[in-house]
Amino acid sequence: MTEPRIDWREGVALIAAAGLALTLLGENPPRELAERVRYLRAYATRDLAVRRLGGSAAAFDRRFFLFLESARRRLPEGVPGVAVLVPQPGEPALYLAAYQFAPVAVALSPDRLPAGWIAAVYGTQRPAGWRLVAEVPGGALMWPAPQAR
């Protein structure tokens, strides 16, 4: 009777999988990993926007994610950048906005909008004199007033 042999490629794959498993277990609690596996199983066949909505990057404010995704879908073609105006700017908001609008440039609540940029205004406040492009869930897309451009 011959001993079963493992092909060298299979061996490398097993070692890599074991290393990855040890790395993940070392950096993440097993409960969190189990939740992520359940999430992947449940959402794997869904639309990308739905998968992102359920992901950890949007967890800090899912309404903000819906606003960004809606604004992204309504962006006029050729816009070089988006200024996302939010009441309380922060790193998670900037990260999510940059990810959603990529490859379009993003700035979070800048003092002045660069030429040609559009504003994605989160919330109910609307800058006076700015032209409405589109209402979106959670806010609006707006062009700055001519003197502010």
Query: How do residues 16-67 score in pLDDT, each as one tens digit?
Result: 887 777 776 666 677 777 777 776 777 667 666 665 656 655 566 778 888 9
Question: Does the pLDDT value for residue 149 go beyond 50?
Answer: no
As a whole number, mean pLDDT of residues 87-109 equals: 87
What CA–CA distance (Å, rounded) separates 10 from 20?
15
Question: Does the pLDDT value for residue 74 go beyond 50?
Answer: yes
Closest to 115 in 3D by CA, of 78, 71, 70, 74 = 78
123 near 115, Cβ under 8 Å? Answer: no
CA 116 to chain centre: 23
More confident residue, 15 or 2: 15
Percent of the chain with pLDDT over 90: 31
